Amino acid sequence: MYENLYEKQMTGEGELPFELPAWIARAPFEEYLGMRIETATAGAAELTMPFTVKLAQGKGLMHGGAITALADTAVAMAIKSVLPEGSHFATVELGLRFHAPVRGGTVRAVARIVERDDRNIRGEAEVFDGSGMKVATFTALFRVKRQK
């Protein structure tokens, strides 16, 4: 959907050069990485991402940044499932513990909200390889922009 925009320079000014098709939808970065939103409802989400060559590090394992991006996006979709459409929020803190490398297949992140107050939402995700082995545990704190 965004392929023709991938190389367009972001200026930080004016209108965005893209528009999300829905509140819970992939942004250009998530589409570029190949993420799929399988479910996102009631403070939980599941996303998948195939391990393609563009996600490999130098020894042929999935790059840790790709795994982190999948987990972070999964928690963000869990959060979107409980916030009003159009809310602004961002990751302000994150942590990831790797348990095993990803060598191939499709990776799955299962996320949920674990704590919430008026502006802060803490979430976690478990990431699994194609065989179902847990490869990473992710935690993050997101902050919701103040309403004016």
Q: Do residues 25 and 64 touch, judged by C-beta distance below 8 A?
A: no
Q: Which tokens in the block code for residue 120?
A: 């802060």
Phi, psi (degrees; rounded to nearest 5) at 58: -65, -20
Question: What is the rounded CA–CA span in Å between residue 116 and residue 114?
Answer: 7
Question: What is the rounded CA–CA span in Å between residue 109 and residue 52?
Answer: 16
Q: What is the reported pLDDT for 147?
A: 78
Question: What is the rounded CA–CA span in Å between residue 71 and residue 95?
Answer: 10
pTM: 0.95
Whole-angstrom CA distances from 109 to 28, 85, 87, 117 are: 19, 23, 23, 24
- For every one of its 148 residues, what pLDDT tens digit does the chain have, with 9 covering 90 and above? 999 999 999 999 999 999 999 999 999 999 999 999 999 999 999 999 999 999 999 999 999 999 999 999 999 999 999 999 999 999 999 999 999 999 999 999 999 999 999 899 999 999 999 999 999 999 999 999 987 6
Q: What is the reported pLDDT for 82?
A: 97
Whole-angstrom CA distances from 67 to 10, 23, 47, 55, 85 are: 24, 23, 11, 9, 26
Q: Which tokens in the block code for residue 6?
A: 């991938």
